[in-house]
């Protein structure tokens, strides 16, 4: 294992300390391992928090700031944060109008957020939550933990954060978040595995001529392992199952998000984006907005994911609204 | 031969030591069908428990179990934190404020813990989870608790091992292993494995009390 770390057990804490050192104008650190918007709470405004295992940077801490998240809880690498963290975050951002929890659909995340919500409500804070489950690689059936929350989470946090910033109430913010979830679909793939610092060995093995289609963001294996293909073929493999969902139709406007898994250079993401754009044009689907870059990663994994979000006017307006966070910044 | 707070603390200490020994093995199992952190997370949580254990001994076994559960919820994360945390919390609640426990009371507390795990995790038999080791172990204890205590604990550890191995060929239906579908068959479940270590630790720590 070759990594830019000091001690495996210190990686998360030291990274958070670095974020605060770099972005102290935007965020502050509260115990235990919670990044909070520097000027939170905002009286009378809904607080929006999220959180999850570390190793997906910039998600979630990089999205704390004006117009996006009010706080983010950082768990150990690929491990859900503990309820103490979500409770601390909820209290730190509670301006009296309630707090929305944006939760990615993983068994551990759900249980820990549930425990935290019970505790926060017992202490008098109104909490609503929305579970993001946009990964089409997972069969959504009674026999699995359900679809995973992946790229759609980034889009939900941006759009919902903008609505909260403008003063939408908790029910409206929750309904908007649910609408983003219902209209977003993602699919990812990996060219290489990744190594959890504390584990020291790669989570899975892929030979030089193989790739994993339908990968999650924790190095958990995907839908199938196949021979390496060209970027255009990979873009096809990712977009086809998304379009099969029946959510996107000719004439729709979408936000297309081509994401890097952490170890893939931007030049390759644009090669993929070019093909995604071509596929959607051929289908008569308009890319009204886009995002290209590594925003929800899996440590040093090489690979990409594609997320499509069917936009409506309200979502588009909130997407365009000013945002000022370590990782996303426009309109300010 | 009632079970005292120090007896139970000894069982927690042994479980924590075994988890530390098995940390890498549990993580390797989880790398195969999960996200490769089960051993790391359990070890981190139980290191925290062992560090605080001396401060948990002032009251009865129930208070000890509750504090262990709270500590795990606060330190483990993932699904294992809420599940093992809920297990020990519910055990503690079931034990009440008694200063010592008869074996039958410990078994009733274990049953309450199991119900808590099922409620929190919503696993049913054969989902290939910790429940598949925990349920048979507790059922074995319930059947045999009236007889020889050492044999009862041995039968529980044996039932846990058999439960763990019985679901290895099955398809996982809960947690991150469920994403693998058919590819999860043939892999030993990490949660059922750590639960088996728990019942082996209970046997080794409590079988000799008299």
Q: Is the pLDDT of residue A142 over 60?
A: no
For chain A, the first-to-last Cα distance in angstroms comes to 41
pLDDT value at residue A143:
62
| Over residues B54-71, mean pLDDT | 95
pLDDT value at residue A140:
64
Q: Is the pLDDT of residue A276 over 90?
A: yes
What is the chain B residue with the closest CA to A108?
A: B79
> Which residue of A83, A201, A222 is in closest CB contact with B73?
A83
- Chain-chain contact of B80 with A108 (C-beta, under 8 angstroms): yes
Count of structural domains within chain B: 1
Segment A97-136, tens digit of pLDDT: 999 999 999 989 999 999 999 889 888 999 999 999 999 9
pLDDT value at residue A70:
98
- Chain-chain contact of A144 with B41 (C-beta, under 8 angstroms): no
CA A174 to each of CA A52, A156, A292: distance values in angstroms, whole numbers, following the listed order? 19, 10, 26
Q: Which residues contact A131 (CB under 8 A, 6 or more apart)?
A: A103, A104, A105, A110, A149, A181
Catalytic residues of A: 56, 218
pLDDT value at residue A1:
86
Consecutive H or E run containing B103: helix B103-121
Inform me whether the C-beta atom of residue B20 falls under 8 Å from chain A C-beta atoms. Answer: no
Give the residues across from A73 on adjacent strands. A34, A51
User: Which value does ipTM take for this structure?
Assistant: 0.80
pTM of the model: 0.88
Of A76, A70, A72, the closest CA to residue A58 belongs to: A72
Segment A181-206, tens digit of pLDDT: 999 999 999 999 999 998 898 988 89
- Chain-chain contact of A75 with B81 (C-beta, under 8 angstroms): no
Q: Is the pLDDT of residue A91 over 90?
A: yes
| Over residues A299-306, mean pLDDT | 97
Consecutive H or E run containing A267: helix A266-282
Quote the minimal CA–CA distance from B206 to chain A in Å. Answer: 31
Quote the minimal CA–CA distance from A187 to chain B in Å. Answer: 14
What is the chain B residue with the closest CA to A113?
A: B82
Quote the minimal CA–CA distance from A298 to chain B in Å. Answer: 11
| Over residues B37-54, mean pLDDT | 95
Q: A184-318 domain in CATH 3.30.1180.20?
A: yes
Q: Of chain A residues 266-305, which have a CB less than 8 A from chain B?
A: none
pLDDT value at residue A216:
87
CA distance B122 to B116: 10
Range of the domain at B72: 5-206
The domain locations on chain A are 8-183, 184-318
Using the 8-state DSSP alphabet, how is residue B101 labeled?
B
> Which residue of B37, B80, B178 is in closest CB contact with A144?
B178
> Which residue of B34, B77, B171 is in closest CB contact with A81?
B77
Q: Is the pLDDT of residue A236 over 90?
A: yes
Match domain A8-183 to its CATH number in 2.30.30.40, 3.40.50.10440, 3.50.30.10, 1.10.10.10.
3.40.50.10440
Q: Which CATH number does the domain housing residue B37 bear?
A: 1.25.40.340
Residue of A51, A55, A82, A205 for testing the chain B interface, max B β-carbons within 10 Å: A82
Using the 8-state DSSP alphabet, how is residue A294 labeled?
-
Inform me whether the C-beta atom of residue A8 falls under 8 Å from chain B C-beta atoms. Answer: no
**Helix/strand number for chain B, H first, E second:** 9, 0
- Chain-chain contact of A78 with B37 (C-beta, under 8 angstroms): yes
- Residues in B closer than 8 angstroms to A187, CB to CB, are none
Segment B9-28, tens digit of pLDDT: 999 999 999 999 999 999 99
- Residues in A closer than 8 angstroms to B82, CB to CB, are 83, 108, 111-112, 114-115
């Amino acid at each position: 294992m070759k990594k830019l770390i000091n001690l495996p057990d210190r990686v998360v804490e030291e990274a958070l300390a670095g974020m605060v050192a770099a972005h102290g104008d935007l965020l502050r650190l509260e115990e235990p391992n919670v990044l909070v918007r520097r000027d939170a709470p905002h009286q009378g405004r809904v607080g929006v928090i999220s959180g999850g295992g570390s190793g997906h940077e910039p998600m979630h801490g990089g999205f704390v700031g004006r117009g996006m998240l009010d706080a983010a809880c950082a768990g150990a690498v690929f491990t859900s944060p503990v309820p103490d963290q979500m409770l601390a975050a909820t209290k730190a951002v509670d301006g009296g109008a309630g707090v929305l929890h944006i939760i990615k659909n993983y068994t551990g995340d759900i249980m820990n957020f549930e425990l935290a919500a019970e505790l926060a409500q017992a202490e008098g804070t109104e909490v609503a939550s929305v579970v993001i489950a946009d990964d089409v690689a997972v069969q959504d059936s009674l026999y699995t933990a359900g679809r995973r929350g992946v790229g759609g989470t980034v889009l939900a946090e941006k759009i919902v954060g903008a609505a909260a910033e403008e003063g939408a109430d908790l029910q409206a913010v929750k309904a908007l978040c649910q609408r983003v979830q219902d209209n977003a679909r993602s699919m990812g793939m990996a060219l290489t595995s990744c190594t959890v610092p504390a584990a020291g060995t790669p989570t899975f093995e892929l030979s030089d001529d193989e790739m994993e289609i339908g990968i999650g963001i924790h190095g958990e294996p995907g839908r199938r392992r196949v021979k390496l293909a060209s970027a255009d073929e990979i873009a096809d493999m990712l977009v086809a199952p998304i379009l099969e969902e029946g959510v996107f139709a000719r004439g729709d406007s979408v936000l297309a998000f081509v994401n890097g898994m952490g170890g893939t250079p931007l030049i390759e993401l644009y090669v993929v984006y070019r093909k995604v754009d071509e596929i959607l044009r051929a289908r008569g689907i308009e890319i009204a907005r886009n995002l290209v870059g590594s925003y929800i990663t899996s440590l040093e994994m090489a690979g990409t994911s594609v997320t499509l979000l069917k936009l409506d006017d309200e979502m588009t307006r909130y997407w365009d609204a000013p945002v000022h966070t370590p990782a996303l910044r426009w309109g300010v | 031969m009632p079970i005292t707070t120090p007896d139970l603390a000894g069982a927690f200490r042994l479980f924590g030591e075994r988890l530390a020994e098995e940390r890498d093995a549990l993580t390797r199992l989880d790398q195969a069908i999960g996200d490769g952190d089960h051993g790391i997370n359990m070890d981190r949580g139980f290191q925290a428990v062992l560090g605080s254990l001396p401060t948990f001994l002032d009251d009865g076994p129930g208070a000890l179990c509750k504090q262990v559960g709270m500590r795990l919820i606060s330190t483990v994360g993932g699904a294992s934190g809420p599940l093992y945390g809920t297990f020990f919390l519910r055990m503690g609640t079931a034990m009440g404020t008694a200063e010592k426990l008869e074996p039958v009371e410990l078994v009733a507390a274990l049953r309450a813990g199991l119900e808590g795990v099922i409620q929190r995790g919503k696993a049913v038999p054969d989902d290939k989870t910790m429940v598949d080791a925990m349920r048979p172990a507790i059922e074995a204890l319930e059947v045999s608790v009236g007889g020889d205590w050492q044999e009862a604990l041995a039968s529980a550890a044996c039932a846990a091992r058999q439960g763990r191995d019985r679901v290895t060929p099955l398809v996982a239906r809960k947690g991150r292993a469920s994403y693998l579908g058919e590819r999860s068959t043939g892999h030993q479940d990490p949660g059922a494995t750590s639960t088996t270590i728990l019942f082996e630790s209970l046997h080794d720590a409590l079988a000799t009390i008299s």
